[in-house]
Amino acid sequence: MTRRWFLVGAATGLVALATFWLCIPPAWTSATWRHAMLLEQQRDFNGSLAAWQKYLEGHPASGAAQLNAAIVARRGDNLPMASEHLRLATDRGADPKAVARERLLQAVQSGEIDATRAGLELATIQNKDQGTALILEALIRGALRHRRVAAAMAVLDRYETVPLASADRAQALIWRGECWRMAGEPRRAAEVFDQALKLEPTNDAARLRLAESLTQDDPARARALIADVLERKEDPVSRLILARACRNLGDLEQAEVVLTQLGRDRPADGMVQMERGALALDRGEFDGAYRWLERLPDAIKKSPEALALRLRLARAMGNTALATTLAGELAALESEQNQARKNLGGLP
């Protein structure tokens, strides 16, 4: 059987299995089980996964709990952990149909099953089916993982027709904002992230994305938003956004303080290295900027942000040949973004 027909068969199987809801607890479930389910409904997937793992410490043979742990790990985009819990669910006798469904959802979310080809076929389930939102969610994540912006937007349009809780509607807006960000429309992305935050004022994911999208155009608001997040929880992404906002406000000393700490905590983080290169460039320290920017991992080095910084540095150092090469690479990326915007209706 060819890979193409295997994937088509897998997609068809996923539709057939979509009516099975994986989180139906038995009557005797513990408070930990119920708490894990509540956290999942609130889209706190890391918290839900921790609760399932706590439950499994006392019930290691529960295939159903292993399966639920696999689901929330996947929904939190922790695919390696999801795969491991799914393996354990299979070993511990979880429902075979539910296991097959989750395995296919993992394939969809990882991008193994292409969202453009399979999305509409997988989305033909009645809106009242609780499995519909999970399938569409996996398709959206898979499309975004591989930067298939138009495909993600198409599935999002379908996702928003399904009855959704407020937290899920806010997440849909966050995904839509991510699409606009990938298409090179930061202002439109910021507008959508702002809508998500107004819908769910306690949603730190929306607050963080909004802050990130405002670091260039409104760094003062970005710093205020990210400071609010950091009051509750410190994480590397939030601190990196804070450093960028401080740099764009001209507070280079504070940016240096934040980046020095981040560099100690995450010495191999390419995004931290890129921001340190940007800070050195703003200070006119061209040799230091060159060291930071040339050591970036290839995936980051070829990003629009890194290319723009490297082009600025090449021009500042008078390296005409390198500047010409980088300008060509950046123009090619901008052309791709323009085409993506046209596909999304962002340009006439």
Domain membership of residue 286 (yes or no) is yes
Only one residue has tokens 């006119």, namely 284
Tell me whether residue 116 is in a domain.
no
Domain C-terminal end among 267, 298, 322: 267
What does R_g of the chain's alpha carbons equal in angstroms?
A: 22
Tokens linked to 166: 């407020």
Write out the chain's pLDDT in tens, 348 residues: 443 333 334 433 443 333 333 444 554 458 999 999 999 988 899 999 999 999 999 999 999 999 999 999 999 989 999 999 999 999 999 999 889 888 888 888 887 766 445 544 454 444 445 567 888 898 899 889 888 888 899 889 989 988 899 999 999 999 999 999 988 888 999 999 999 999 999 999 999 999 999 999 999 999 999 999 999 888 899 999 999 999 999 999 999 999 999 999 999 999 999 999 999 999 999 999 999 999 999 989 988 899 999 999 999 999 999 999 999 988 887 787 777 666 665 443
Residues 252 and 289 occupy one common structural domain: no
Q: Which domain-ending residue is among 267, 289, 305?
A: 267
CA 337 vs CA 83, 103, 186: distances in Å: 33, 33, 12
263 with 287, same domain? Answer: no
Residue 201 and residue 218 in one domain: yes
Considering the domain boundaries, does residue 160 fall inside one? no
Instruction: Check which CATH number belongs to the domain holding 302 and give it.
Output: 1.25.40
How many domains would you assign to the chain?
Answer: 2
Token pair for residue 268? 């191999």
How many whole angstroms separate alpha carbon 222 and alpha carbon 210? 7
Q: Same domain, yes or no, for 251 and 304?
A: no
243 and 287 co-located in one domain: no
Instruction: Round to whole Å and give the CA distance between 74 and 80.
Output: 8
CATH of the domain at 198: 1.25.40.10
What pTM was computed for the model?
Answer: 0.76
Token digits of residue 169: 């509607």
Same domain, 314 and 256: no
The pLDDT value recorded for residue 118 is: 53
Give the residue numbers spanning the domain of 214.
184-267
| Of 313, 301, 347, residue with least CA distance to 180 | 347
What DSSP string runs through 88-131? HHHHTT--HHHHHHHHHHHHHHHTSS-HHHHHHHHT-S-TT-TH
Quick one: 277 and 262 in the same domain? no
Which one of 218, 247, 267 terminates a domain? 267
Task: Give domain status of residue 172, yes or no.
Answer: no
One domain, residues 248 and 314: no
pLDDT on residue 243: 97
Rounded distance between C-alpha atoms, residue 245 and residue 212, angstroms: 8
Contact of 103 with 89, CB cutoff 8 Å: no
